[in-house]
Chain A
Amino acid sequence: MSKLMSAKTKEILLGPLAKNNPITVQVLGICSALAVTAKLEPAVVMGISVTIIVAFGNVIISLLRNTIPNRIRIIVQLVVIAALVTIVSEILKAFAYDVSVQLSVYIGLIITNCILMGRLEAFAMSNRPWESFIDGLGNGFGYAWILVAVAFFRELLGSGTLFGYQVIPQALYDAGYHNNGLMILPPMALILVACIIWVHRAKDKELQE
């Protein structure tokens, strides 16, 4: 077991959560961070889906890495991701129809998520399957927690709800409080992500340029 969780693999798993975060440090996957963070629920499901797909995409590419012709490697990566996403979406449609209806847009969006291509090209092409799997999980979680953090503030301040449940008491509205309509518009996601990056860099001197 010690071999499975060496210091290096731990670093691969935990690095993307903070110091090497795909969104705040590598600035990948920003587009979907804007699109799905108006509400918590899609943000959570998007985070889970991306984690699963990037982890398995990494494993497949890592297994094939020595056979892939260099000149068409990007195409091969794309085919693997697109096939995985299509299969996941077909399975959801068959066995979790309600979820698939809610996610219809986001599932397709996963293919265009830069994190997937980024990890496949930068990590899985030159590492063994187990490390690649861990790397996929790490980056998926790193992506997911930023999404959830942004969605938390956007839903709370923009709609007064969390996971669709009212949390800001009616009494506050009666006292003149208003939901901030700006919060549910995409630009606010950028501003929130920027705030996270700001705090992150202020705390971690290594990241300052």
Chain B
Amino acid sequence: MNTNSNTYTFIYATVMVVVVALMLAFVSSALKGIQTENIELDKKKQILSSLNINLEGEDAAALYDQYIVQELIINTNADIRSDVMGEAFALDFGKEISKEASERQLPLYVAAVEGATKYIIPMQGAGLWGSIWGYVSLDEDKNTVYGTYFSHASETPGLGAEIADKSFQHKFIGKKIFNNQDQLVSIAVTKPGQKADNQDQVDGISGGTITSQGVEAMLLNCLTQYEAYFKIKGGTEE
């Protein structure tokens, strides 16, 4: 057979594309269910991670049910839209944050750790190469950071990717997001040695300056969404 004829080439290309497309579609749909479960489980792990809970060898889904006592959807004025478990969890925070301020639905997780209430705020921002995200948990005063979790899509290993490292995340513990004048200023991520003005700071990552700045911008942007809620002091009453 002449494998160089135009007809053969056309037929070959068409058959190849169809076969490969069918194969990929089949693999994708066959694995969809397991993948979605994995993604949900991973989200639970991330949320728990911001509470400094050691997940090594633990059942994350069970721990999630144990620690997270309330899931809220609020708007930027701190009105509570929903407190049904599962609804806030299903929200895509990345999508919500890019909507108009008045339409944003903000998920908020309330956890009970050893009897104390913690508030967990989702984070979404941009690093050097792609998106970065995470969760920040606050103490009952809605001011002191209890723990953080950051991750990234494609930051440089050894440099920006270090934000996913516990040693970086632990630097935020105990920092305050409000300054002495009671303004929400978030936490600065500065180059080691530099001093931030009138706000708490942590050292950024050497060689990962743009990712560090991304974390700083993400913290300020996402925490600001919840400012009205933070200013309601004393518990979660409506």
Contact = CB atoms under 8 A, between A and B. Distances in A.
Interface of A: 35-36, 38-39, 42, 66-72, 75-76, 79, 83, 86-87, 90-91, 93-95, 97, 101, 104-105, 154-155, 158-159, 181, 184-185
Nearest to A86: B24
B2 to A, nearest CB: 9
A70 B3 contact: yes
B23 A83 contact: yes
Interface residues of B, number: 29
Contact of B159 (A38, A42, A86): A38
B39 to A, nearest CB: 8
B158 A87 contact: no
15 contacts: A66-B3, A68-B3, A69-B3, A69-B9, A69-B12, A69-B13, A72-B9, A75-B13, A76-B16, A87-B27, A93-B31, A94-B34, A97-B41, A105-B153, A181-B206
Contact of A104 (B16, B23, B38, B153): B153
Given A93-B31, A93-B38, A97-B38, A72 B20 contact: no
Interface string B1-34: 0011000110011001100100110011001001
B34 A38 contact: no
Given A69-B4, A83-B24, A93-B31, A104 B154 contact: yes
B42 interface: yes
A69 B2 CA distance: 9
What 7 A-B pairs come out closest when comparing CB atoms? A38-B158, A97-B38, A94-B31, A184-B158, A69-B9, A94-B34, A105-B154
Contacts of A158: 158
Interface of B: 3-4, 8-9, 12-13, 16-17, 20, 23-24, 27-28, 31, 34-35, 38-39, 41-42, 151, 153-154, 156-159, 206-207
A63 to B, nearest CB: 13
Contacts of A184: 158-159, 207
Contacts of B159: 38, 184-185
Contacts of B38: 93-94, 97
Contacts of B16: 76, 79
